[in-house]
Amino acid sequence: MANPISFSPSLLSSDFAAFGQDAKMSAEAGAELLHFDVMDGHFVPNITFGAGVVSALRPHSNALFDIHLMIENPDRYVADFARAGADIITVHAEACTHLQRVLSMIRQSGAKAGVALNPHTPLCILENVLGDIDLILIMTVNPGFGGQSFIPQSIPKVRAAREMLDGAQSKAWLEVDGGVNSTTIGSIANAGADMFVAGSALFGHPQGFEFALSELRSLAGSAR
Ligand code: DX5
Ligand code: ZN
């Protein structure tokens, strides 16, 4: 059973000089989460920001802080992000030699534990750690940049992830990240995702963030 629909706007597409304002605006528009794309220039080609930005923004928003670590050796930074105010810490399966250990480290830190999968990584890598997971993040673009096009072959993968979670009676969130917009969100919601990251579709919408969020929310709701 999918969870209620929720949204995690990605700060990657917001104004880097106005993070505080944009975090506040996002929460006031009703977004349940705020998505932080942490990139190290190694796991992905781009570099963004670290735990300092997360802790600086904590007083500006009551949304759940959803930290997407696109970094190598993420275990080295779990404690820092937890201390900074992370509610969910998601690591890439591809970046963890000892994934189960990292997931339990995240839970011990007090945060919810998420695992992200790149487009080429098969779902079955999660089969034996489902009990340690609070969130599966299906990447629907290759990570590193905002504003890329949704990879359509991801739809069957989202559907299979829904079946996997339901089969295990897991209440974990099923989050989708990359190319989520008014054209793609219907089929993603229909496939069983319940948490949606969106960057350019929200922060770059000509009619504004709040309009874009409510449009995406109603498209997702009616496609379920
Ligand atoms: C990509 C990031 C995404 C990105 C999504 O590596 O993980 O969170 O901000 O941006 P859009 O929604 O523009 O595809
Ligand atoms: Zn992300």
Query: Atom 6, ligand 1: which residue's CA is nearest?
Result: 143
pTM: 0.98
CB 114 within 8 A of CB 90: yes
Q: How far apart are CA 216 and CA 214, in angstroms?
A: 5
pLDDT band for position 51 (cuts 50, 70, 90): very high
Which ligand is located closest to the Cα atom of residue 39? 1
193-213 mean pLDDT: 98
74 lines ligand 1 (CB under 6 A): no
Q: How far apart are CA 204 and CA 196, in angstroms?
A: 16
How much is the pLDDT for 173? 99
37 catalytic? Reply is yes
How much is the pLDDT for 82? 99
121-150 mean pLDDT: 98
For the sheet containing 33-39, what is the strand order?
6-9, 195-198, 173-177, 135-139, 112-117, 88-92, 64-70, 33-39
167-194 mean pLDDT: 98
What are the tens digits of pLDDT across the range 156-178?
999 999 999 999 999 999 999 99
177 catalytic? Reply is yes
9 lines ligand 1 (CB under 6 A): no
Task: Return the SS3 of 186.
Answer: helix
Write the DSSP assignment of 30-83 as a string of letters.
T-SEEEEEEEBSSSSS-B---HHHHHHHGGG--SEEEEEEESSSGGGTHHHHHH
Out of 40, 75, 134, 177, which one is annotated catalytic? 177
pLDDT > 70: percent of the chain:
100
Of the candidates 53, 121, 55, the residue with the CA atom closest to the CA atom of residue 91: 121
Most informative mutation of 8, 11, 13, 49 for ligand 1 (most atoms within 8 A of CB):
13
pLDDT band for position 224 (cuts 50, 70, 90): very high
Amino acid in position 44: V
How much is the pLDDT for 167? 98
Which ligand is located closest to the Cα atom of residue 179? 1
CA distances from 202 to 25, 64, 198, 206, 216 (A): 11, 18, 6, 9, 9
Q: How far apart are CA 108 and CA 113, in angstroms?
A: 10
